[in-house]
Structure 1
């Protein structure tokens, strides 16, 4: 527990084989500290895969702040919590670098920076990358184009029907990008106030998340928290493609085999959602927004290569992406 706040704060470093571990600081309410530990371990291993598959010289890690029941912390109490977390990061002496994640903001990264320099995702006004949500969304769109090429014979998303489940920072940005591409959108979120986005975008409509997952659409894009697709829901999907930004979308890796058996193309989430990581990682070498856009756009080719590799070897895309990541890790000296 943090000495100032009394709130449990933790960091998991899964791998530094390719470089320092980089992972966001997630501020969330868990049922207990054990659940938070399980989440930070699971997320840190996913970050190793994400960095390796995306071709970054970074390892995998994650930070979690386990909030107590009640309203979101603000003011001095929030700063105390962030400083407690930052001290844990500082103790790791550069082997872990943190960034924004669920429940934290670019301004929170400024508070962390007051204690340790090992943080990225700072506001643009301080020379940082700012909110990485748009770049995560750009990466999802790039991956979606690769999936559309494989599933439908063309990367173009105009007239494609896409259900986006979760329209927060990333999902909302993705919806705007796809609307501009001419896609027909079905939006869903547990927060009913987000419904206004469906009214604002041409060709968009609104439904409940459980209905969006089973909708008769070309592509389903899970963009909220993970575990949405289990063995049961996998048998009810009508989409040809699953490609979204949420971490750990599958309840179990075996679900990837169920989807493949039904002819559903699942794009591995740790690769699809790596645009935000690519974006903030560039702060480590001097941030350039145009370079970030180019690098994130290259995910279309990376995902396309993974899908081609999977088809050639009779594998699921998840297996192929894991092989790609494992090969990079094994080759590291």
Structure 2
């Protein structure tokens, strides 16, 4: 199948493939749209079943980054990169060096940053071979703590702000006593759990890896559930914070939550799932809106002048943006994901 005929191809500007046998690197970079500025999007390393699965992911993720940047009012376009491999067993410094060379080959059309399977230490190796690596010279932190370049704290804080806003709109209540099921207890999911715990939410957590779950049970009083249970759990809010497409034709009928608000990218397997959520009275926080805290963080780190307070205020705009989407959805009776798409496209499609 040609890339141009791929079902997830959406007039992407640039799709590049890279193979380095010596370094053990097989990677793809996709640049979706640069009307608002150079493409920014993290580098993900994952155990994809094959190259087609990796291509599918990078095309969807890069498109999502275009919409994310537009809805976060950033002068950036959307891109993404993926590395095929197990980040726990196959990652090497040589591979990260080769990835840096791959990013450099696009000449600044695409900037990369941290994503699943990639750490700041990996980005620093890449930066020895490319000037287009973001998130390695951090100056600001939304809470005034020491910044280390990891955007996960800002992503988690933005999701927390967005989830709180969604509960206020959809359930007409505060977070105290709200039952939240978190799917994925990685860097973002665990931090989200911490925020929710401080607000008095009741937490149910699941992950394919036990470390984050055990930590949440011990430190936050969370209840551990199996990955197979989490989607159908009797909770008020479902927060997908792992991989995408978990809200799909197979899972949607079992979902009992009245709000879906989480950190994962591409949570809906297809756009039409949004209509089904609307029909069932489930309020969905469009993923690229609620999880924009990380890209906002990276944007501020690249600014010549910003501050902790300015970055925090920008992240907190996520809550009001979601309420605008929900209000427009209520007025037009359109699914929230469709409303968000239209609002984003109004911002980037006709930009000269």
Kindly indicate whether the alpha-carbon contact (under 8 Å) linking 2:46 and 2:87 is maintained by their aligned counterparts in 1: no
Give secondary structure in 2 for the equivalent of 1:297: helix
Superposed displacement of residue 252, structure 1: 1.4
Superposed displacement of residue 10, structure 1: 2.0
| Equivalent position of 2:321 in the other structure | 302
The answer on 1:30 being equivalent to 2:48 is yes
Give secondary structure in 2 for the equivalent of 1:293: helix
In 2: Cα distance, 1:58 partner to 1:176 partner: 30
Which of these residues, 77, 83, 89, is aligned with residue 97 of structure 2? 83
Superposed displacement of residue 142, structure 1: 1.1
| Equivalent position of 2:157 in the other structure | 138
> How has the CA–CA distance of structure 1 residues 327 and 197 changed in structure 2, closer, same or farther, with 3 Å as cutoff?
same
Which of these residues, 17, 24, 28, is aligned with residue 35 of structure 2? 17
Across the aligned residues of Structure 1 and Structure 2, the Cα RMSD in angstroms comes to 1.9
In 1: Cα distance, 2:24 partner to 2:55 partner: 16
Instruction: Please show how residues 1-333 of structure 1 align to structure 2 within 5 Å.
Output: 1-2=19-20, 4-67=22-85, 72-74=89-91, 78-122=92-136, 124=138, 130-154=149-173, 156-286=174-304, 288-333=307-352
Superposed displacement of residue 38, structure 1: 2.1
Superposed displacement of residue 4, structure 1: 4.2
Superposed displacement of residue 125, structure 1: 8.2
Q: Unpaired segments of 5 or more residues in structure 2?
A: 1-18, 141-145
> How has the CA–CA distance of structure 1 residues 22 and 70 changed in structure 2, closer, same or farther, with 3 Å as cutoff?
closer
Answer with 171-180 or 209-218: which moved more. Answer: 209-218
Give deviations 1:233-286, integer Å, cap 9, x for gaps: 111111100000011111111111111111111111111111111111112214
Superposed displacement of residue 105, structure 1: 0.4
Give secondary structure in 2 for the equivalent of 1:159: coil
In 2: Cα distance, 1:119 partner to 1:317 partner: 33
Normalised to the residue count of structure 2, the TM-score between the two structures is 0.88
In 2: Cα distance, 1:6 partner to 1:171 partner: 30
Kindly indicate whether the alpha-carbon contact (under 8 Å) linking 1:242 and 1:264 is maintained by their aligned counterparts in 2: yes
Q: Unpaired segments of 5 or more residues in structure 1?
A: none
Superposed displacement of residue 194, structure 1: 2.6
> How has the CA–CA distance of structure 1 residues 25 and 128 changed in structure 2, closer, same or farther, with 3 Å as cutoff?
farther
- Structure having the higher helix fraction is 1
Normalised to the residue count of structure 1, the TM-score between the two structures is 0.93
